[in-house]
Amino acid sequence: MNPMSEPPYYARIADLVHRNLPGVLTMDAWMASDIPEELKKNSIVGAPARRFTIRWNYRDRIQSGHDVWFYTCLFPNRRYLNRLIDYPLLKVRLLPLAQFRYSFTGFLHWGWNYWPPDP
């Protein structure tokens, strides 16, 4: 299935959750440059750490009362903050400072159990 065809399904499922389980939050991680309206409307949106300041005006969403979380995964890497196992500890410990600096309301702990076939 093409990932771009999934947002309408997401919206239907999120609506079902919100109607039947009031107060239960829905969340999804998405590339900050191309967040479909269905995700903006129906969930907390998690944006990859490096891309949040470049391609998406997340501040409008925060100012309108929505949560915006950020996460790290296999990118960004090299000079950016991340939690990769071979990174200097300073880059890991500065992540909460980045969260504060950009007014994010949460951090998504992505893929703690994700290991490719050849890690």
pLDDT digits (tens, 9 = 90+) for 53-106: 555 667 777 888 878 888 777 766 777 788 888 889 998 899 899 889 888 888
CB-based burial label for 58 (10 Å; 0-12, 13-18, 19+): buried
Neighbouring residues of 88: CB distance < 8 A, sequence distance ≥ 6: none
Q: Give the C-alpha separation, 34 to 96, whole Å.
A: 25
Q: In whole angstroms, give the CA distance from residue 105 to residue 84.
A: 22
Question: For residues 24 and 33, what is the distance between their CA atoms, to the nearest angstrom?
Answer: 26
What tens digit of pLDDT does each residue of 12-55 get?
Answer: 998 999 999 998 888 877 665 667 778 777 777 666 555 545 55
Q: Residue 80 carries which DSSP code?
A: S
Question: Does 2 score more than 60 pLDDT?
Answer: no
Q: What is the pLDDT of residue 55?
A: 53
Task: Give the whole-angstrom CA distance, residue 73 versus residue 105.
Answer: 18
Cβ proximity of 68 and 47 under 8 Å: yes
| More confidently predicted of 1 and 36 | 36
Q: Contact 82/48 with Cβ under 8 angstroms?
A: no
pLDDT value of position 45: 66
